[in-house]
Structure 1
């Protein structure tokens, strides 16, 4: 027989009302009492009734998370942080894979509206007008992660992509490289594509190095295959290239694979720096030098902000730029040493 709230109250030697307040995140008890009740819940294996809880606090204790590509390594790390924050706040997570499709995104937003989620985390995509209209209809807090909106006042948690790309390129310049190419994203992507390409271009210009359209190949995605297919194209455009900045780690590793097939040694003949610092970056050979985004921390921070907004602990949320670092491994050589 499943334990009831009465069993928890008896085990913890408190009233049923106290257990109810603690389970529903309401005030009116000490930390010692909270600890006793939580220990009783764990010992008995008590599962609060979500429907009953929703009737009390007018919440479903769920949040919706929308990713353009759930299977991507970046998404999995961000999601881990979001789920940690949600769990700590007493919420469950519904994950939606939009595949960067506007129709699919709208469909999932309508589904989340029907499910009456308490808040939304929107990741890695531009916020279109049709999405924002649904956010307003839902009347729930929305937090952006790994993206931002220039058109709508929505709090975000992200890294400054322009600065990250600028410093990645400058890192190659400081290692003595003068002929530097870039495998970029889409020119139609205002989130990561455009700012990273702009950071690359401005870093070259700052150091009075040549730049033309031949220095960049563009792609609609940021996956391994995009990097692998782009390297031969870029080498034709820039045959004297000694170093490469890739707009994602997956692209960088794809370029390393293509270099191996072409008989080009990394880093002796071609230095490569990536962007993200995914777990796979230190598993490949040679281990990848990259711009490290604190992906899990970004997800956790976005989740914590959302939980506070839902619970009314904050009325407004400030956007956060998270710090990034360049992690040096073995895929970039110093030409000054040659």
Structure 2
């Protein structure tokens, strides 16, 4: 039988009320000696307070909510590992919500999280709309954005500078001697990752004196493996004579690699490909994919730490731009 708070009180020879005050960190009504006795009893009996009962007492649920458009995706899973590690270390539970990029589903989940009385929100990888923002404000809890940001709504965020990272990837290809470079992109209307990465690609071309018409952009609705396959087929059909491809995600890049293999196009002998993200799949690809890394686990961890800081102090912390870097593998050929 599991020990109860009554057992702890009896073991420490104090009242149940005293044990409750100590476990709920009430700063009055007991001495340091009494606190030590109670905590020793808790350890010896392996007592674990009931989270629901404790929440009723201190009006805290020790739970946070996390919303992502696809919690099963490889990128999201890395972010979630970082979030969960911090939450677990700090004694909090996490409710993960898969919004499927649906506005109604996102609002439904925000209502659910409000009813569950979560103490904070992490909102990831999609545009923060006015409706989402108003729902979060109505909850009156801290919120942090991860892998996204909003210029209109001043919530703290943790993310890589997408434009700068895309510039780095494109510049890397140019420095390897490539002059005709195509981009396989997500939606250009996507202000979170689509447009900034296209802008970084084009800016690098301009800075290195390359003609934009020699470096076409092929765009899809998303950043998936299937998008990569269809975009690569369009690129080859256009016969542009490009020698390198910048894919705006690793999943797009792996889709391109797969289609290149089926078309008997050798990578990197005939065509070089660089990805974006450094997902685990990039190491498993054939050939292993050169890519620009987002430190996804660290981003999730930093977002959670920023949220808990806000929960503790009641004030929003400062946004964090995470570093990116090129991970060299075997999918890019040096021409010079």
TM-score (norm 1): 0.91
Q: Deviations over 1:54-110 (max 9, x none)?
A: 123211111110000111100100001111111112110111111111111111111
Counterpart in 2 of 1:58?
A: 59
Distance 1:321 1:256 in 2: 30
Distance 1:34 1:97, change over 3 A: farther
Counterpart for residue 234 of structure 1? 235
Looking at structure 1, the residues matched to 10 and 19 of structure 2 have their Cα atoms a distance apart, in angstroms, of 10
CA gap 1:137/1:215 in 2 versus in 1, 3 angstroms: same
SS at match of 2:123: strand
Post-superposition CA distance 1:158-178 (Å, at most 9, x none): 000000000000000000000
1:32 Cα shift? 12
Change (3 A) 1:255 1:34: farther
Q: Is the 8 A contact 1:161 1:196 kept in 2?
A: yes
Q: Is the 8 A contact 2:155 2:316 kept in 1?
A: no
For structure 2, the residue ranges without an aligned partner over 5 or more in a row are: none
- CA change 1:206–1:31 in 2 (3 A) is farther
Partner of 1:185: 186
Match of 1:320 in 2: 320
Q: Cα distance 1:332–1:16, how it changes in 2: closer, same or farther (>3 A)? A: farther
Q: Is the 8 A contact 2:9 2:38 kept in 1?
A: yes
Q: Which runs of 5+ in 1 are unaligned?
A: none
Q: Provide the rounded CA distance (Å) in 2 between the counterparts of 1:107 and 1:250.
A: 29
Structure 1 residue 52: Cα displacement: 2.2
How much has 1:155 moved relative to structure 2?
0.4
Go from structure 1 to structure 2 and tell me whether the alpha carbon gap of 1:36 and 1:301 turns closer, same or farther (over 3 Å shift): farther
- Could you list the structure 1 runs, at least 4 aligned residues long, displaced by more than 2 angstroms after superposition: 5-47, 235-239
**Corresponding residue for 2:276?**
275
- 1:25 and 1:222 map into 2 onto residues whose CA distance is 47
What is the CA deviation profile of residues 99-153 of structure 1, one whole-angstrom value per residue up to 9, with x for unaligned ones? 1111111111111111111111000011100111111111011100000001101
Task: Give the conservation status (yes or no) of the 8 Å contact 2:181–2:215.
Answer: no
Instruction: Give SS of 2:212's match.
Output: coil
Partners of 1:27 and 1:238 in 2: how far apart? 73
**1:34-53 alignment, distance < 5 Å:** 44-53=45-54
> Is residue 143 from structure 1 mapped to residue 148 from structure 2 by the alignment?
no
1:168 touches 1:291 (CA, 8 Å); kept in 2? yes
CA RMSD of aligned residues (A): 2.7
Aligned residue in 1 for 2:335: 335
Pair 16,177 (structure 1): closer, same or farther in 2 beyond 3 Å: farther
Whole-angstrom CA distance in 1 between matches of 2:301 and 2:293: 16
Q: In the alignment, does 2:281 pair up with 1:285?
A: no
**Separation of aligned partners in 1, 2:307 and 2:252:** 32
**CA distance, structure 2, for counterparts of residue 93 and residue 35 of structure 1:** 30
Cα distance in 1 between the residues matched to 2:187 and 2:85: 32
CA contact (8 A) 2:180 2:214 kept: no
SS at match of 1:46: coil
Q: 1:311 to 1:11 in 2, by over 3 A?
A: farther
